[in-house]
Structure 1
Amino acid sequence: MNLKRFFGGLLTILGIVGLIYTAVLFTGTSGETRDVKALIVYGILGIVFFMSGISLVRSTKDES
C-alpha cells in the first residue's frame, strides 16, 4: 500500500469532517464573536486539509 496515498485519503476525510463540523456549528450559532472565530478556524482548517488531501491523492502515481 502506498503511504502517500493513504495519508492523502486520511487528510481528505479529516477535511470533510472539519467542513461538516463547521456546518453544524453554523446552524447553531447566535452570532457572537467567539462563534464566528470558531467557524472561521474550523472552516479554514477543513478546506486546507481537504485540498491538500485531494492534491496528494491526485499527484501520487500507482506503482504495483
Structure 2
Amino acid sequence: MSAKKIFGIVLTLAGMAGLIYGGMDLSSGGVARASFVYLLLGVIFFFAGIKLLQNTRDKVV
C-alpha cells in the first residue's frame, strides 16, 4: 500500500469525522458558524481523500 493511498484513507476518515461532528453540532443547537466550519472542512477533506484514492493506481508487476 502506497503512502498516497494511506494519506487518502486518512483524509477520507477525517472528512467523515468532520461531517459527523459538524452535523451533530448543528443539530444540537451549537454555534452555527463553528458548525459550518466543521462541515466545510469535512466536505473538503472527504472529497480530497476520495479523489486521491481514485487517482492513485497500483502498479502491476
TM-score computed with the length of structure 1 as normaliser = 0.87
Q: Shift of the alpha carbon at 1:52?
A: 0.2
Q: Using CA pairs below 8 Å that are at least 6 residues apart, which structure has the higher relative contact order?
A: 1
For residue 23 of structure 1, report the CA deviation from its aligned partner: 1.2
TM-score, length-scaled by structure 2: 0.91
Instruction: Report deviation, 1:37.
Output: 0.6
- Aligned equivalents of 1:22, 1:63: Cα separation in 2: 37
SS at match of 2:57: coil
Give unmatched runs, 5+ long, in structure 2.
none
Q: How does 1:1-64 map to 2 (within 5 A)?
A: 1-29=1-29, 35-64=31-60
Counterpart code for 2:55 = S
How far does the alpha carbon of each residue in 1:11-61 deviate from its partner, in whole angstroms, 9 at most, with x for none?
00000000000111012116xxxx011111001000000000000000000
Matched residues, percent identical? Answer: 38
Separation in 2 of the partners of 1:41 and 1:26? 11
The alpha carbon displacement at 1:63 in A equals 1.8
**Structure 1 range deviating more: 43-52 or 20-29:** 20-29
